[in-house]
Amino acid sequence: MSYMTNEWNGTEYFPIHDFHHVEFLVGNAKQAVHYYRSAFGFEPHAYCGPETGVRDKVSYVLKKNRQFFVFTTPLNSEHPGSDWLKKHGDGIYDIAFSVDCDQTAYDSCLSRGAVGVNKSTFTSDENGEYGISSIQTYGDTIHSFIEDANYSGLWAPGFDSLKLPEISNKDTSLITIDHIVGNVEEGKMDEWQEFYEKVFGFTTFIRFDETDISTQYSALKSIVVRSKNWKVKMPINEPAEGIKKSQIEEYLEFNEGAGVQHVAILTDDIIKSITALRANGVDFLDVPDTYYDNLENRVGEIDEDMDKLKQLKILVDRDDEGYLLQLFTKPLEDRPTLFIEIIQRKGSRGFGQGNFQALFESIEHEQELRGNL
């Protein structure tokens, strides 16, 4: 049964202020950093590696307005990230949350059944104290809890400023992480919904079933859990029975299990953002011209120019609270796993239900080209 509710039915066991960062494990962080700088407009922020006394990995921190992406590459086969990369390929390993006290968050989650990964660790330098701990979530993904309110340094102890050559690109006007989507195995979505409700005290405010998200060939189910302050929103998808292989099944096959499917980044001017991203070389899913036939009748009056939206292939959807505009990149890795969504909200808190048909047919076209449909 599908539903959407803005009511808060959760329990805030401890405040989660926002996404703190996402950490990617990649085979070559230097190259990944160059891509996310040149294509998405991220800026160098901090670094740790052999030059800062860290011998087993390098980590580059990139910043764009209120969001941080961390790219980590293991420097030897003994680093646990090496096995992770061998199994999954480049992808997101850590969805980190900003909290008041990482020890409190860690202990609280473990008391309700979470599995600990890293116990609370405090480090300090001349800039103050920094606390971090982490627990397991779906697949081989973790959630870190970051306590850094009393830390005034760039990032964390052991990190120096990251200085890289200037590059020329268009400003993408990307603001912050809007939501992060996970894919899990068939029959596991309800288990992870219960996990987030029980362990974090989140509430489920959207549920879609296969009648809402389906095409001629495939279908999927989805729920969205959120924090009390709406800053953390996490959709979780699972495949549903279909005639052919769904996009979720393709992801699970190539990722070798559950994991992060995409990060949605918020903008306040999607026309400016998509124009810049396309100029910077970002490759987006195609949207057929027929999508824009009678679009104004479907979504009503909007502020944006319809012809410009058609030219840039931007999707639009409206609900009772307003409307949103969105567009999705093609997979960013050679494995058809991780991608990025660009989203602008004009009142709507939804996820573009009215666009599901067009979106998934476009994804299926890409699957067919890869021989995976």
Tell me, what amino acid is at 297? N
- pLDDT given at position 370: 84
- pLDDT given at position 215: 64
350: region left, alpha or beta (phi > 0 left; psi from -120 to 50 alpha): beta
116: region left, alpha or beta (phi > 0 left; psi from -120 to 50 alpha): beta
CA 301 to CA 228: how far, in whole Å? 31
* 223-268 pLDDT, tens digit each: 999 999 999 999 999 998 765 677 889 999 999 999 999 999 999 9
* 282-339 pLDDT, tens digit each: 999 998 888 888 888 889 999 999 999 999 999 999 999 999 999 999 999 999 999 9
- pLDDT given at position 241: 76
Sheet holding 116-125, edge to edge: 116-125, 128-136, 142-147, 91-99, 16-25, 67-74, 57-64, 43-48, 160-161
Which comes out higher in pLDDT, residue 217 or 319? 319
Which comes out higher in pLDDT, residue 36 or 287? 36
Average pLDDT, the chain: 93
Report how far Cα 184 is from the mean position of its chain's Cα atoms. 14
Tokens of 275: 């124009």
Q: What is the mean pLDDT of residues 33-50?
A: 98
The mean-pLDDT minimum among 65-79, 172-186, 288-302 falls in 288-302
pLDDT more than 90, % of the chain = 83
C-alpha count within 13 angstroms, C-beta hemisphere, residue 263: 22
In sequence order, the 6+-apart residues with CB closer than 8 A to the CB of 371 are none
* 139-163 pLDDT, tens digit each: 999 999 999 999 999 999 999 999 9
Place of tokens 């760039």: 154
Q: Is 298 helix (H, G, I), strand (E, B) or coil?
A: helix
Entry pTM = 0.95
Structural domains in the chain? Answer: 16-161 (3.10.180.10), 174-370 (3.10.180.10)
Out of 199-208, 291-300, 345-354, the most confident range is 199-208
